[in-house]
Structure 1
């Protein structure tokens, strides 16, 4: 029996009967087909209609959770939010959907759409999963300005907007309280070594993460911040207190070693490479660069030398296809001794 056509499968997904969708998947239908007219994938269609069982089925069959629609640039999560079904939104988030994905044409995040469509129950789910409150649209409105506009122009459904406003206020206060409670992080940011020691002695959580407020420290542990900002003695105290030397931050997917070398902190680099648990070759999610790539990218020869001497791999390839030798050639020059060494080791 031949596989179902794209049109046949899209029609069944629109009808929404899980049994029929399952049958066509079993006959070889691709879970990633797009509707020719709307540019929506099957997953987006099911998500927009709030059909959580079919969404689960398509995800289990390998549907691409991260792709965008070919016209507006929204994701399946955007469509689920617009449809207003909290369960479907939760299914996608728990499968790994990016909670702050921005639509290519508008810059709308799922939270912005949830406010626009007046779905406070969906707003609640997005906030629970850490949706950012301080992002902006591509046309210049911050999320808060966008919401104020909605409050002013709507004559219907205002009760739902006011419920969403209450949820936003509660999340804002919770973020503020969480930041205020992080005295260890505050001491690290201030570079206050004695206060860091005092906080650790009093039992402060060494790996407590900063709340996501769309700021420079979002989701960072104290060690990530200390390594980024060059607080070497503070980093030493945090490592001694058991800080996770491979903790990643959510923006670039970087570890403390990336932070140290990216900013040229050779002393901290030396500290970290001596910790047996440190992953010398961890690659960031943005560009696939290892700490050695980053050190060379910014021309920090001393950091690069520390990494190489500690046994960092020299053959790893970034998303741009470049090895450390390629980065060194661009940054330090083809005749630099470090470039020649790396080239010899990778040829």
Structure 2
């Protein structure tokens, strides 16, 4: 049925594809010669109905093809259907997925294939502008190269360039507007206090500009950078104690313990609704894993005594006890505490 499904998708026959999927054909079937999945083929052919049928059947929107490492979203940016791009993003495709051969993101491909409407959509989704090809061009250099070598469709390239300029201007305006984030990053406690008293938005997120604070809230930054009094002010103002930043998939508690801020760790674990065991996306580490990994005994002890889980297994197969033995030693008091608590 996989071969039949690929044939149906190649023929843009959505009805036949749906029948095959209902009969048990795998939505992740791959074409033998190209290695493209059915979803990649439909996306590249700008076949929105078939793309939606495959997604509805559970097709993997994240997987890559074997020759260039491109995803279905890359193929959609070649096909030129904004409906397909939107369907893939809404299904969980990473807008900044990088093809390992070229280094292209979806935005780079949308620019390359001259689809300014897709570029505008990806820009609205917060796609990164600070990216580089694997052949040495920044996004800006890549775009200028396209302008120089194309004799057809320059009007579309220039339209896309306007979208790029609008996005950069919007990012600059957001940075200028976010006084609370600026004061937090500078560690200016009194300015933070005044801004909060004046009604500043406590959980506003920093724009994605290729920097250390991308998509962070002020609490994430203050917890990371050790601004204890600012953390307390933000918490009192109702800051989201479980706000997640997308780069590492970390919460404020991860930020605090990773950097050994024991006072902030103690303040955070006392908050109503705090998730002591939130698992980071990059390595599957809980805050307790992070604190042990970096050798911060006081932070680790605070988490254990607050009731952090001791049985979570990270992506490297390690539990908190494994890390405690590795970092502090088998006979250390903290290791003994974790072992005893885990046995209860």
User: TM-score if structure 2 supplies the norm length?
Assistant: 0.98
Choose which of 248, 251, 268 in structure 2 pairs with 1:252. Answer: 248
1:139 aligns with 2:126: no
Choose which of 145, 151, 154 in structure 2 pairs with 1:155. Answer: 151
Per-residue deviation at 1:97?
0.8
Distance 1:13 1:204 in 2: 51
Residue 215 of structure 2: aligned partner: 219
Choose which of 187, 192, 215 in structure 1 pairs with 2:188. Answer: 192
Residue 43 of structure 2: aligned partner: 47
Residues 217-242 of structure 1 deviation map (CA, whole Å, 9 limit, x = unaligned): 01000000000000000000000000
Choose which of 222, 235, 241 in structure 2 pairs with 1:239. Answer: 235
Choose which of 52, 59, 68 in structure 1 pairs with 2:55. Answer: 59
Residue 313 of structure 1: aligned partner: 309
Per-residue deviation at 1:307?
0.5
Per-residue deviation at 1:133?
0.7
Per-residue deviation at 1:343?
3.3
Alignment of 1:1-347 (within 5 A): 4=1, 6-346=2-342
On the 8 A contact 2:292/2:300 being kept in 1, the answer is yes
Per-residue deviation at 1:344?
4.2
Per-residue deviation at 1:140?
2.1
- Give unpaired runs (5+ residues) of structure 1: none
Per-residue deviation at 1:322?
0.9
Distance 1:103 1:340 in 2: 46
Per-residue deviation at 1:341?
2.9
Distance 1:228 1:317 in 2: 24
Distance 1:309 1:303 in 2: 10
Paired residue secondary structure (2:87): helix
Distance 2:249 2:142 in 1: 29
Per-residue deviation at 1:276?
1.8
Paired residue secondary structure (1:339): helix
Distance 1:83 1:339 in 2: 56
RMSD, aligned CA:
1.0
Distance 2:260 2:136 in 1: 35
Distance 1:243 1:157 in 2: 48
Aligned residues: 343
Per-residue deviation at 1:335?
2.6
Distance 2:222 2:153 in 1: 47
Residues 125-156 of structure 1 deviation map (CA, whole Å, 9 limit, x = unaligned): 11111111111122221111111111112122
Range that drifts further, 95-104 or 257-266: 95-104
Per-residue deviation at 1:255?
0.4
Distance 2:316 2:16 in 1: 42
- Give unpaired runs (5+ residues) of structure 2: none
Moved over 6 A (4+): none
